[in-house]
Structure 1
Amino acid sequence: MTLDTADLVDRRIPGRSLEAPFYASREVFDLDLAAVWTRQWIFVAAEGELPEPGDYVTAAIGPYSIIVVRDDDENLTALHNVCRHRGARILTEERGSVGNIVCGYHKWTYRTDGSLLHAPAQDGGFDPACFGLKTVHVRSVGGLVFVCLAEDPPPDFAEVASRIEPYLLPHRLREAKVAARVDLVEDCNWKLTMENNRECYHCDGHPELVRSFFPTYGYREDQLPPPLRPAYERYCRVRAELRETYDRLGLPYETIEELTRPSGFRIEREPLDLAGESFTPDGTAACRRLLADFPTARLGHLSLHWQPNAWFHVLSEHAITFAVLPIAPDRTLLRTTWLVHPDAEEGVDYDLGRLTKVWTATNEQDADLVTRAQCGITSPAYEPGPYAPSEYQVDAFCTWYLTRLREHLRR
Structure 2
Amino acid sequence: MTLKQTGLNAETVAALRSLIARRQPGYSLEAPFYTSPEIFEADMELIFGRTWIYVAVEPEVPEPGDYVTVNLGRNSIVILRDDDMGLRAFHNVCRHRGARLVQGESGAVGNLVCPYHQWTYDLEGKLIYAEHMGEDFDKSCFGLKKVHVRSIAGLIFICLAAEAPTDIDELDRVMTPYLAPHDLPNTKIAASIDLIEKGNWKLTLENNRECYHCSGNHPELTIPLFAYGFGFAPGQMDETELAQAARYDELVTTSHARWESCGIPSAEVDHLDDCITGFRTQRLPIDQSGESQTLDTKVASKKLLGNLTDTALGGLSFWTQPNSWHHFMSDHIVTFTTIPLDAETTLVRTKWLVHKDAREGIDYDVENLTSVWNATNVQDATLVEYAQAGARTPAYEPGPYSPFTEMLVEKFCKWYLDRLKDGIA
User: 1:46 and 2:57 equivalent?
Assistant: yes
C-alpha distance in 2 between matches for 1:120 and 1:327: 37
* 1:231–1:224 Cα change, 3 Å: farther
Alignment partner of 1:20 out of 23, 31, 38: 31
Question: What RMSD in Å do the two structures reach over aligned CA positions?
Answer: 1.4
User: 1:332 and 2:346 equivalent?
Assistant: yes
Q: Which residue of 2 aligns with 1:117?
A: 128
1:255-334 to 2 correspondences below 5 Å: 255-260=268-273, 261-334=275-348
Q: TM-score, normalised by structure 1?
A: 0.97
1:3-402 to 2 correspondences below 5 Å: 4-204=15-215, 205-219=217-231, 222=234, 225-226=237-238, 228-260=241-273, 261-389=275-403, 390-402=405-417
SS at match of 2:80: strand
C-alpha distance in 1 between matches for 2:332 and 2:413: 31
Which segment drifts farther, 232-241 or 210-219? Answer: 232-241
C-alpha distance in 1 between matches for 2:235 and 2:265: 27
Q: Which runs of 5+ in 2 are unaligned?
A: 1-9
SS at match of 2:348: strand
How far is the alpha carbon of 1:74 from its aligned partner? 0.5
Query: Quick check: 2:256–2:267 contact (8 Å CA) kept in 1?
Result: no
SS at match of 2:415: helix
* 1:375–1:221 Cα change, 3 Å: closer
How far is the alpha carbon of 1:9 from its aligned partner? 1.3
Query: Quick check: 2:121–2:129 contact (8 Å CA) kept in 1?
Result: yes
Which residue type is aligned with residue 195 of structure 1?
E
Query: Quick check: 1:199–1:217 contact (8 Å CA) kept in 2?
Result: no
Query: Quick check: 1:216–1:228 contact (8 Å CA) kept in 2?
Result: no
C-alpha distance in 2 between matches for 1:281 and 1:238: 20
- Aligned-pair identity (%): 48
| Structure 1 outlier segments of 4+, above 6 Å | none
C-alpha distance in 1 between matches for 2:57 and 2:333: 10
SS at match of 2:395: coil
* 1:179–1:381 Cα change, 3 Å: same
C-alpha distance in 1 between matches for 2:312 and 2:234: 28
How far is the alpha carbon of 1:108 from its aligned partner? 1.2
C-alpha distance in 2 between matches for 1:228 and 1:182: 35
C-alpha distance in 1 between matches for 2:158 and 2:237: 41
Q: Which residue of 2 aligns with 1:408?
A: 423
Query: Quick check: 2:234–2:242 contact (8 Å CA) kept in 1?
Result: no
Q: Which runs of 5+ in 1 are unaligned?
A: none
The number of residue pairs the alignment matches comes to: 410
How far is the alpha carbon of 1:202 from its aligned partner? 0.5
Q: Which residue of 1 aligns with 2:7?
A: none
How far is the alpha carbon of 1:216 from its aligned partner? 1.1
Query: Quick check: 1:215–1:231 contact (8 Å CA) kept in 2?
Result: no
SS at match of 1:191: helix
How far is the alpha carbon of 1:175 from its aligned partner? 1.4
Query: Quick check: 2:229–2:284 contact (8 Å CA) kept in 1?
Result: no
